[in-house]
Chains A and B, each alone.
Chain A
């Protein structure tokens, strides 16, 4: 089940958690990407996924899209 928690609430919770534990999400994910890259056999797909998450986390502090999607099919 998807659960009823809104995406904006999930974003807010993650933002709060990052601020509490890791500080700047960009820097935290950069550190993590460097760590994965320095491993003996770095996984390119994992690094790509971490870059995607870094971009997503960086967007947490930006306002959401203004325009809604159409409700009907």
Chain B
């Protein structure tokens, strides 16, 4: 509403400034390669099969995105600039946690029995919970394990579960999925 009152000459630069704030700053080719190398190394360590790409743009996905291919070897993991920005923020998820969540999606998508379980009404929410739980089982750092378990719990609470029920669900899923990994 307020922008309507502004003259067009002022709105233009303000809009450009707002857009610029939502773009990553430029990085060198070396840094871009270093980011791709680090993302690929983390993905491989977590068991990701397929291609890893780095795109120097901000995403709406939270920093990374998993794409399903005809086979696991052709699956795609895209890591975005915001994954590195979040990684640098001590109040946010690490790069490992972000990639582990996407690796969790790959595991869930590629597991026939889990896919059958996810054919119901709340499949999207359930897949998000499962991906975080799988990720929490794959990461090495305690802080990442806890962060992903808390995310799974929060997603379960978001679906209407009480906190204790959500904790029990995450505990049971960790126990079940540990034997599948």
Contacts and interface: CB of A to CB of B under 8 A. Distances in A.
B62 A4 contact: yes
B62 A3 contact: yes
Contacts of A21: 162-164
A34 to B, nearest CB: 12
Interface size class of B (residues with CB under 8 A): 35 or more
Nearest to B58: A4
A46 B170 CA distance: 8
B71 interface: no
Main secondary structure of the interface of A (DSSP, over half): helix
A70 B36 CA distance: 15
Nearest to A71: B88
A1 B87 contact: no
Contacts of A55: 146
A8 to B, nearest CB: 4
Interface of B: 31, 33-39, 60-65, 82, 84-95, 98, 101-102, 128, 143, 145-147, 149-151, 153-154, 157, 162-164, 167-168, 170-172, 174-175, 178
Given A49-B175, A53-B146, A73-B31, 4 more contacts: A7-B151, A49-B170, A49-B171, A73-B37
